[in-house]
A and B are shown apart, each in its own frame.
Chain A
């Protein structure tokens, strides 16, 4: 069972470089999320998606972009990397009941995270 897969696991970037963090899930979940976790803190929501073609901002979206062209994939892009974006990034997905749109009681399944350092 693959679940939620994130690549890469580690990456070092220089200031101003760009990169895409990949996230894919094989559970046919409609809802997908990106979070960041700074040292000593809980996770904060960056962006989320309720289905293919639909994305929306979370609590800390500045400096990031997302797209959702398929149910399975939800990549996160950093266009101009800044030291403040040094963090651990988690992708997650959750199930929603077909035709009802209910999902809030469903657990989110997390990937193993990507540790990103920007120097």
Chain B
């Protein structure tokens, strides 16, 4: 079974600075996808960014970018120019690819990192 580990229960950053959230995962598959989801106090689950394992290029979405190290099974999220609205729980998630072996579909989540933005 796949596992996702987020080793930082909480991170704090000054507004306008850059912060990196860590995520490692374990899988024997070669075809998979990785996601970062944001969960603000409203409880909504909001997709931040996604990465296809077969792509070497790191995904970028405006101020959000990832550092995907496939061999190390590492998938960190970098938030640049942090804003007060970025304060939330951030979850790293794994999903097996369409051509992977059997097993349940759906996302496997880490335990999350609580991001605090200091004004």
Could you tell me which A residues sit within 8 Å of B by CB distance?
Answer: 31, 33, 35, 40-45, 48, 50, 56-59, 88, 90, 92, 101-105, 107-108, 110, 112-113
Chain B contacts to A: CB under 8 angstroms: 4, 31-33, 35, 42-45, 47, 50, 52, 91, 93, 95-98, 104-112
A55 CB to closest chain B CB, in angstroms? 11
- Beta-carbon nearest neighbor of A92 in chain B: B45
Closest to A4 in B: B45
| Cβ–Cβ contact B104 & A31, under 8 A | no
Specify which chain B residues have a CB less than 8 angstroms from the CB of A107 in the assembled complex. 35, 47, 50
Enumerate chain B residues within 8 angstroms of A35, measured Cβ to Cβ: 106-107
Q: Which 5 A-B pairs have the closest CB atoms?
A: A42-B109, A110-B45, A45-B106, A107-B47, A102-B98
CB pair B104–A42 under 8 Å, yes or no, is no
